[in-house]
Structure 1
Amino acid sequence: MPKIVDHDERRRHIAEAAVRIAGRHGLDRATLRDIAVEAGISLGAVQHYFRSKEELLRHVVGHLGEQVTARIMTRVGDLGDVSVLSFLEAMAVEILPLDARRRAERRVAQAFGIRAPDVPELTEPLRQGYDWVRDNVAELIRQAQGAGELRPELDAEFESIVLLAVIDGLSSDILIGVRDPGQAVETVRYHLNRLAVR
């Protein structure tokens, strides 16, 4: 009887191997052959799912977004009934490179950002992902303003952009050793507390 292969699981497995390789050695050194070795499968098996490195990278962009979103929702679920500020802090904690997994994800995300202008196939998925996060954060801020949690005079759209820029900058700081993870989390908390109604 032929072996039944879960194709979605196989794609996830390959994407995870790509994240590990790129996290250790950088995106440019993540060849399909290296990814196949990391995944413990043949190069032909990788090419069965992804015809090129660019196609694999597009898939990895979506995969990382799903992984981070799932972690945020798990963290928030573990916290129970939380305020919007607590939710936004949980979101930041799951994006910041505070451990080996999140450092690998951040390295990959930064590499995508650098490479995207030269690889048009990456630009649109990255832009869509950023827009989705920005819009959802802005909506959370508006909800918190409506509930009296955040200051009503804030511009939710701009505050969303600023928060994501703060997280992005702190992520770079952690990666190059300018700031330690604890300082980064405290900085996010400081920023979010400035938005709260006093």
Structure 2
Amino acid sequence: MPKKVDHEERRRHIAEVVLRIAGRDGLDQAKLRDVAAEAGMSLGSVQHYFGSKDEMLRYVVRYLGERVTERILAGMGEAGERPVRAFLLSMAAEVLPLDARRRAERRAGQAFEARAVAAPELIGDLREGDRWLHGRVAELIAQGVRDGELRPGLDPGREAVVLLALLEGLASALVVGVREPAEALAVVRYHLDRLTVLY
């Protein structure tokens, strides 16, 4: 009896390989032939799942966003933190390139952003991920204000932009070694402390 193939699992496997190549060698090196070789698949098999490099890259952008989102949500229950703060710290820990895995993801993400300038079809996926994250952060900040966890009078939309811009700047500094992981997290905690109601 022939073995049943999980097509979505194959796509995810290919996406992981693309992210590994993009993080290590740059996105230009993630050619279908190179992806197939590193994935241990034939070129025809990769082309069965993705008809073109752009189709493959669009899938990888969505896959990376989903993977990071899942990890953010899984980290919401960080011990000793109140709900909104737990989410925001978990998000920061996943967005910031604090270790080799997240540095590779960050480099891959930067490569996708650079490619999107010349490939508008990728911009929509990147914007969708950014809108989701901004909306979720703004929603959580609004909840924190309502629940008395965060200071009254905060503008959730603007505070979300400020926090995400802070994380973006710290992420760039971490990738080039200007900041250390512990320092970056301390800055995030410092910023969140300024938004938090102290009892």
Matched, 1:189 2:189: yes
Q: Matched residues in 1 for 2:177 and 2:151: separation?
A: 34
Q: For residue 78 of structure 1, report the CA deviation from its aligned partner.
A: 5.5
Pairing of 1:129-148 with structure 2 (within 5 A): 129-148=129-148
Q: Which residue of 1 aligns with 2:26?
A: 26
Q: Percent identity?
A: 60
Q: Which runs of 5+ in 2 are unaligned?
A: none
Q: For residue 80 of structure 1, report the CA deviation from its aligned partner.
A: 8.2
Q: For residue 195 of structure 1, report the CA deviation from its aligned partner.
A: 0.9
Q: Which residue of 2 aligns with 1:168?
A: 168
Q: Which residue of 1 aligns with 2:46?
A: 46
Pairing of 1:47-196 with structure 2 (within 5 A): 47-77=47-77, 79=79, 82-196=82-196
Q: For residue 56 of structure 1, report the CA deviation from its aligned partner.
A: 0.8
Q: Matched residues in 2 for 1:30 and 1:107: separation?
A: 13
Q: Matched residues in 2 for 1:106 and 1:82: separation?
A: 28
Counterpart residue type for residue 177 of structure 1: G
CA pair 151-78 structure 1, distance change in 2 beyond 3 A = closer
TM score, norm. by length of structure 2 = 0.95
Counterpart residue type for residue 52 of structure 2: S
Per-residue Cα deviation, 1:13-70 (whole angstroms, up to 9, x for no partner)? 0000000010101111211111111211111111111111111111011111111111
Q: Matched residues in 2 for 1:24 and 1:83: separation?
A: 36
Q: Matched residues in 1 for 2:175 and 2:154: separation?
A: 31
Q: Matched residues in 2 for 1:111 and 1:176: separation?
A: 15
Cα contact 2:73–2:87 (8 A) shared by 1: no
- DSSP 3-state at the match of 2:117: helix
Q: For residue 76 of structure 1, report the CA deviation from its aligned partner.
A: 2.0
Matched, 1:11 2:11: yes
Cα contact 2:78–2:90 (8 A) shared by 1: no
Counterpart residue type for residue 130 of structure 1: D
Counterpart residue type for residue 145 of structure 2: Q
Q: Which 4+ stretches in 1 moved above 6 angstroms? A: none
Q: Matched residues in 2 for 1:156 and 1:139: separation?
A: 7
Cα contact 2:77–2:86 (8 A) shared by 1: no
TM score, norm. by length of structure 1 = 0.95
Q: For residue 104 of structure 1, report the CA deviation from its aligned partner.
A: 1.1
Counterpart residue type for residue 173 of structure 1: A
Q: How many residues align?
A: 198
